[in-house]
Each structure stands twice: as structure tokens, then as C-alpha cells.
Amino acid sequence: MEGFLAATIVASTPLLFATVGEIVTEKSGLLNLGVEGLMLIGAIMGFVTAFATGDPLLGVLGAAVAGAAGGLIFAFLTVSLRANQVVTGLTLTIFGAGFASFMGKTYVGLVVPKAVKSFFSPVSIPLLGDIPFIGPVFFQRDVFVYFGYLVVILVTLYFYKTRAGLNLKAVGESAAAADASGVNVTLYKYVHTCVGGALCGLGGAYMSLVMMSVWQENVVAGRGWIAVALVIFASWNPIKAFVGAFLFGGLSILGFRLQSMGIHISQYWVDMLPYAATIVIIILSSRKNRKENQPPSDLGIPYFREER
Amino acid sequence: MNWISISKREDLPKNREGVIRAAAVVLSIVCAGIVIWILGYNPIQVFPSMVTGALGSEIRLQQTILKAIPLIVTSLGILVAFKMKFWNIGGEGQILMGALAASYIALNVDGLPKPVMLLLMAIAAMVAGGIWAFIPAFFKAKMGVNETIFTLMLNYIAIKYVTYLQYGPWKAPESKGFPKVANFEQNAIMPELFGIHIGWIIALVCVVVVYIFINHTKKGFEITVVGESRETARYAGMNISSIIIIAMLISGGLCGLTGMIQASAVEKTLSVNLSAGYGFTAIITAWLSRLSAIAVLFVCIAFAILLQGGTYIQISMQIPASVADMIQGIILFFVLGSEFFLQYRVNLPLWNQKVKEVA
């Protein structure tokens, strides 16, 4: 059980980064469906950078910068050029998949350098790691996982405890009102789409650098789309995103576990679980009408100052 | 003074619209050319090679049309949903469920004459695709459940289910270890006309039918109104729930029909790969057509040229397929961006002033 939960943490980390990234983006009122593409861009650029330099931190940085660049393309098209957000997001995914596949062509099957692999090997956090049960599950993992915890805490503090976080909420809820009160709406949308993109890129990098530690075609395998759904499950709250990512990470590795326990259910049925669960969740979450669970009111609605 | 200001265009003359669109395509090709050059290939060879690869000979032209057929039918399905601002991104799953139903008939019903068989398969496919679209439509209409995620998740469930059948219960015993569903009997395979299966006729008929439906029927009009403003529709006394459901039944039905065409005429069996991403590409082609059925025909043919050209340069110039995907993405980014210049005028007061001073 402990082993299963520990593996769940690993499986949930890419989902966590991508979900929090998409939450940051959506809080500014932009619906970026290109998460899958952003993760792929991050996965390959992280891998290529780490492979070329042998430096794990540069790899992580490369993934974040590449993800942010993808976010910038999205922001430019949807904010400045007012393109349709749904279609632009899908295009970003097509582009990202092509980009990752091309860049990764010569890397297929190659393993990350030793220095990177040892950097991302599990380390126990003093004291916390010694707590029975909780320690081995949560606090004897790799530094990238801890970075994920940190991101959740920082983003939560930013959303609920800072002035900029409050402004961001205003931009997402009512861009016109935020604009009227002197918030630079365009800047907020750009910055948060880029930061969100960077986080999605990090989620991809976790897949390629740590989880697989070998480059393979389509390494992200649909996790970006699950992240988009998890945002709804988490009702735009980073803490709930952690819970959601954990649940879905568990579902995604359940098949292997059941088989090793001698329970034979077709892998394909088990594979359906995360998607079926997502559907159940969006149906259930449409039933609850509590105010804090609602999406930002301006989500997906473009804001044009001169059309106010 | 602001250095830049943007104003909405009132009405754009048709020829200006054409100029802007053409400029976007030219710019995107130039930009894609630069990317190709950076990647280490010669764009002056790549682009002509793509065009000759798609149109250069009878066989290649047939290949292009074979790719255009599923795109056209699926795009029309997506169009009906998008008209209503219902973001159906579940085309992929609806195609597969359609193919699944058609295959069930093809594999289990014996001794029917070909036309009856094909008709039965088409009906089964449209019903199955329709049901797969009805599920999210129902929840959207009754409970306001987000359709984007719902339709997307149904894609994955359809993919996993068809994979399960292909690797499990439906695997043909004579295929040895290879996971493959049995081939259809001759009476379940579409006939050809002018060297291409009759799916091209079906596609053309669908274009006309959807055009008439959207532009000249009451239901089609209602769908457009719901898309433009729920409030207006409600005020006019329309039953929004039933309009959403009907439109999605049509949308999923058309996607299901694509599945039947691909299963019957192209794969000649059920395969999880038969949707080949058409469900996603159709979203883009439908949007680029500005949701006009007639435009869908031309945009899809243009896209099929791009797809077939991409396949060709893989073989002739050893350029990986991913390059073609990237070119596709770049061209789309530009075309999406160009929409802005169709709807808005960009004023550069300082620039204009300078130009005047110089003059």
C-alpha cells in the first residue's frame, strides 16, 4: 500500500504541475486547451537541454522557458489578435505534438545523463521523512516532487493573500471592472498565460526527465487533457488540484497494481477509469452551486476595451 | 496620443477581405519556409514537392481526395455543433463509435444485397455516432455540464473500448498473434466510381444537405440563433434544450457516418486507427471555413493537399511527418491571427502623422 501511494505521488506530479498551470491561466479568464501541446514542448525542451548540458537545473529551466514561449503564442493570438480560444488551444496542441516529435526524433530511446538521474533520485526530507506512513509516501521522493508541493503553496498564497492575486481574480471575473479600476488587463492575461505555460512545461519535463527518464514519442500521452478536466474538479483551487492529481495519478497506475495482485481486468477497462471519473466529476461539480466552486465568470470570453 | 488604436470595421469590402486572407496564407508559408530552412531543409524544394506529391499524378490526386472525404463529412458535423457554440471536440470518438456500429452489422449480418447492407451500416453508424454525441448534449441541455471536457473524455473512452474489442473479443482467430478484426465481406465494402470509393459522392451530398439545413430550414435557423444569443432564442420562445440535442444528434451522426465510410471503404474492417485524428483536424477546418458548409468543401480539400503533401515528402525527401504537423500548426496560427485584421482596423496615429509630414 505504501509503495502504491508512493508511486501515485510520482504519477500525479505531471498532472499537478499542468493542472496548477492551467488554473493560473484560467484565473485570468483565458481558456487554454493547449495544455497537452505545452507539456510536450516542455518535455522535449527539458530533455534536450538536460541531455546537451548534463545539468538537471538547466533542463528544468529549459522546459519552463519553452512552456512560457508556448503560452506567449497563445496569449498573443487570443489577447492581442482576439482569435478564438478553443481553436487556438487545439492548434497549439497540434503544433506542440509536431514540435516535440521532430525535436525528439534523434533522441528516441536515449536515457537522461547520469548526473540528471542521480539529481532526481529520491531524497528523504529530515524529520518529515521519518513520520510513519506519511513520510515514505510524501517525503521520501525526488526534489522535483518537492518543487511541486512548493508551487502549490506559493500559488495558493499568491491567489488568496496578495494584491496581485486579488487583481488577477478581478481580471478573470470581470475584465471590464478590473480595467476600470486601473488594472492592466492585457498585461495580467499575458503574464499569467506565460506562467501557466511554464508550469505545464514543467509537468512535461517531469515526465521526460524523471518519470520515464528516457525519451519516447508522445511521452505525455493525454495527461494534458486530464489536467484540463482536473481544473474543473479542483474548482480553480490549487490545494484541491493536489488532491485531484493524486486521485487521478492513482487511477492511472491502478491497472499495473491489480495485475501484479493477480486480479485480471482488461488493461483497457482500467485505462478508461480516469476519463470516466472525469465525466462523473464534471457532472457532479455542475450540481454544486456554491459560489467559490464556480469558474471565473469571464472564462473564455474575450475582452475588448472598445466594445465595452 | 496613443501610438496605436484599434477600431471595429463596419463593413469590409469583399476584395479587401480576400487580400487580407491571401496575405495571411502567403505570410504563413514564408514563415513556415523559414522554419523548414532552420530545420535544415530547402523550402524551395519542400513546398513544390508537397504540391506535386498531392496533385502530381492520378494516384496522388486520388490519395488526396481519399483524405478529403472524411475531413469534409466530419467538418460538416462539427460545423452544425459550432454554429450553436457547442464545442464538440468529440468527433474522434463519434467517428469510432460509428465505425464500431457499422462493423458490428458488417460482421454479424449475412446474405444481404450490397446496397441494403451499406445502407444498414450507414444508419447504424449515424445512430451510434449520434448517441455518443447525445450523451454530452443531454447533460449540457439539462444541467449545463461543460461539453468541451465531456466530449473530449468520450473520445478516450471510445478509443479504449475499440482497442479492447480489437485486441480482445473481436480479434479475428485467423490473424494469428496480430490484433486485427476480421475483414469485411465483399457486400460490406463500398463500390468505387472513377477510381475512388463513393464516399466522395456522399461527402458532396452532405455539403449540399447541411448547407440547405443551416440556411433554409427552421431548425437550422434556430441553431444559429441559439449560437448567437441564448437570450434571444429564449425570448423568441424556442426550446433551447431540444435544439441543442437535435443539433448534436446531427453533428454526431455525421461524424459516425465518417466512421462507416472509413471502415467500409478504406480499412475494410474495424481498426482503432481509422479516425486518424480527423475528429481534431475537422475542428480547425470547420473554423477556418467560418462555419459555412460550402467553404468547408474547399478548406478541406486544401487541407487534404497539405496532409497528402506531408505524407509525400516523408517518402521522397525523408522529412519526418512531424515537420508537416509543424507547418500545419504555423499556417493555422497565421490564419487564426489574420481574422483579427478582418474585423478590426489598426490605426497608428503617430505613424500616419509622420507620413503626412513627409508628404
Contact A70, A197 (CB under 8 A): yes
Look at B160 and A272 and tell me if their CB atoms are within 8 Å: yes
Nearest CA among B307, B346, B352 for reference residue B327: B307
CB-based contact B321 A101, cutoff 8 Å: yes
Interface touch A81/B143, C-beta < 8 Å: no
Q: Cβ separation of B150 and A279 shorter than 8 Å?
A: yes
Q: Which residues lie below 8 Å from residue A23, measured CB to CB, with a gap of 6+?
A: A155, A196, A231, A234, A236, A237, A238, A241
Q: DSSP of B11-53, one letter per residue?
A: ---HHHHHHHHHHHHHHHHHHHHHHHHHTT--HHHHHHHHHHH
Q: Does A184 touch chain B (CB under 8 A)?
A: no
Position B340 scores a pLDDT of: 79
Chain A hits for B287, CB-CB cut-off 8 Å, are 84, 87
**How far is residue A229's CA from residue B192's CA, in Å, rounded to a whole number?**
43
Q: Is residue A297 part of a domain?
A: yes
Does B326 sit within 8 Å of A98, measured CB to CB? yes
Q: Which of A101, A225, A275 sits opposite B322 (nearest CB)?
A: A101
Tell me if residue B346 falls in helix, strand or coil: strand
Contact check, Cβ <8 Å, A283/B153? no
Q: How many residues does chain A have?
A: 308
pLDDT tens, residue by residue, A229-248: 888 888 899 999 999 999 88
- Give the C-alpha separation, B144 to B139, whole Å: 6
Task: Evaluate whether residue A131 is within a structural domain.
Answer: no
Residues in chain B: 359
Of B323, B325, B340, Cβ closest to residue A81: B340
Consecutive H or E run containing B6: strand B5-8
Residue B244: per-residue pLDDT: 87
Kindly state the percentage of chain B with pLDDT values over 90. 21
What CATH number is associated with residue A61?
A: 1.10.3470
d(CA B227, CA B238): 12
**CA dihedral over A273, A279, A283, A289, signed as positive or negative:** positive
Highest CATH level, class, for B67-319: mainly alpha
**Using an 8 Å Cβ cutoff, are A44 and A100 in contact?**
yes
Residue-range domain boundaries for chain B: 67-319
Has residue A127 been placed in a domain? Answer: no
pLDDT of residue B321 exceeding 80, the answer is: no
Domain boundaries, position A147: 2-121+137-307
- Alpha helical stretches, state H, chain B: 14-38, 43-55, 58-83, 91-108, 114-143, 147-167, 199-216, 218-228, 230-235, 240-261, 278-288, 293-317, 321-343, 349-358
Whether residue A98 and residue B163 make contact (CB cut-off 8 A), yes or no, is: no
* B6 grid coordinates: 484599434
pLDDT value of position B358? 61
Distances in Å between the alpha carbon of B339 and those of A82, B92, B281?
8, 26, 19
Residues of B in contact with A269 (CB under 8 A): 160, 164
Interface-testing mutation among B278, B326, B346, with chain A (most A C-beta atoms within 10 A): B326
Window 96-155 of B: residues touching A by CB (8 A cutoff) are 139, 143-146, 148-150, 152-154
Query: Residues A204-235: pLDDT tens digits?
Result: 999 999 998 889 888 888 889 889 888 888 88
Provide the number of CB pairs (under 8 Å) joining chain A to chain B. Answer: 138
Instruction: Report yes or no on A302 lying in a domain.
Output: yes
What is the separation of C-alpha B50 from the centre of its chain, rounded to a whole number of angstroms? 21
Q: What is the pLDDT of residue B276?
A: 80
Q: Say whether A105 and B89 touch across the interface (CB within 8 A).
A: no
Tell me the DSSP string of A224-236: HHHHHHHHHHTTT
Residue with cell 478590426: B344
Is A56 domain-assigned?
yes
Report the complex ipTM: 0.81
For the record, the C-alpha cell of B203 comes out as: 461527402
Establish if A166 belongs to a structural domain.
yes
Q: Give the model confidence (pLDDT) of B155-177 as tens digits.
A: 889 998 998 888 888 887 777 77
Task: Name, in order, each residue with C-beta under 8 angstroms of B299's C-beta and a sequence gap of 6 or more.
Answer: B75, B285, B288, B289
Query: Residue A214, SS3?
Result: strand
The chain B residue lying nearest A295, using CA atoms, is B146
The answer to whether position A129 is within a domain reads: no
Dihedral through CA A93, CA A96, CA A101, CA A107, nearest 10? -140
- Quote the CA–CA distance of B74 and B95 in Å, as a whole number: 8
User: How is residue A181 written as a grid cell?
Assistant: 479600476
Quick: pLDDT tens for B185-228.
Answer: 888 888 888 878 888 888 899 999 999 998 888 888 888 888 88
**What pLDDT, on the 0 to 100 scale, is given for residue B1?**
46
Which chain B residue shows the shortest CA-CA distance from A305?
Answer: B6
Q: How many domains does chain A have?
A: 1
Q: Which helix (H) or strand (E) holds B193?
A: strand B192-193
| Residue contact B333–A229, C-beta within 8 A | no
Q: Do A91 and B163 touch (CB under 8 A)?
A: no
